[in-house]
Amino acid sequence: MRTLEIIAIIFMLIATGVTFGLYQINFQGFTNLTNYSKTPAYDLSGTRLYSNGTLLLNVTRTAGPDTYGGFIVLVQILYPNGTVLYQWTGQQLGMLPQSDIINKFPLHPAKPIHIGKYGVGILAPLGQNFVVKLQVPFHIKPGTYIVRVYDADGQYEAYGTEFQVTVTVS
Partner 1 sequence: MAQVAIETTQKFLPVLRVTLGWMFLSAFVRRVINVPAKLNPQSSAYVGGKILTFLPHAWSPIKGILIWVLENPTLLYDFIIAFTALEGIFGLTMILGLFTRLSGFVLAMFSWGMGLAAGWLGSTCVDEWQIASVEGAAALMFMLTGSRWLSIDQILYSKYPEGIKIGKMRIPLW
* Peptide bond between residue 82 and the one before it cis (omega within 30 degrees of 0): no
* Of residues 107 and 115, the one with the C-beta less far from partner 1: 107
Interface pattern 18-57 for partner 1 (x via CB under 8 A): xx--xx-xxx-x-----xxxx-------------------
The 10 Å CB-count burial string (b at 16+, else e) for 5-30 is eeeeeeeeeeeeeeeeeeeeeeeeee
Query: Among 46, 52, 79, 105, which residue sits at the site for partner 1 (rule: CB under 8 A)?
Result: 105
Strand blocks (E) in the chain: 41-43, 48-49, 54-63, 71-78, 84-89, 101-103, 111-115, 118-123, 129-135, 143-151, 157-158, 161-162, 164-169
Minimum separation from the CB atom of position 113 to partner 1 (A): 15
Residue 98 binding partner 1, by CB under 8 A: no
Residue 93's H or E segment, with its range, is helix 90-94
Residue 82 binding partner 1, by CB under 8 A: no
Q: How far out from the chain centre does Cα 113 lie? A: 17
Query: What is the C-alpha to C-alpha distance for residues 19 and 14, in angstroms, rounded to an integer?
Result: 9
Segment interacting with partner 1 (CB under 8 A) among 100-108, 130-138, 148-156, 161-169: 100-108
Residue 17 binding partner 1, by CB under 8 A: no
Site size for partner 1 (CB under 8 A)? 34
- Bridge partners, residue 89, by sequence: 74
Residue 126 binding partner 1, by CB under 8 A: yes
Residue 15 binding partner 1, by CB under 8 A: yes
The residues binding partner 1 (CB under 8 A) are: 1, 7-8, 11, 14-16, 18-19, 22-23, 25-27, 29, 35-38, 60-63, 65-67, 105-108, 125-128
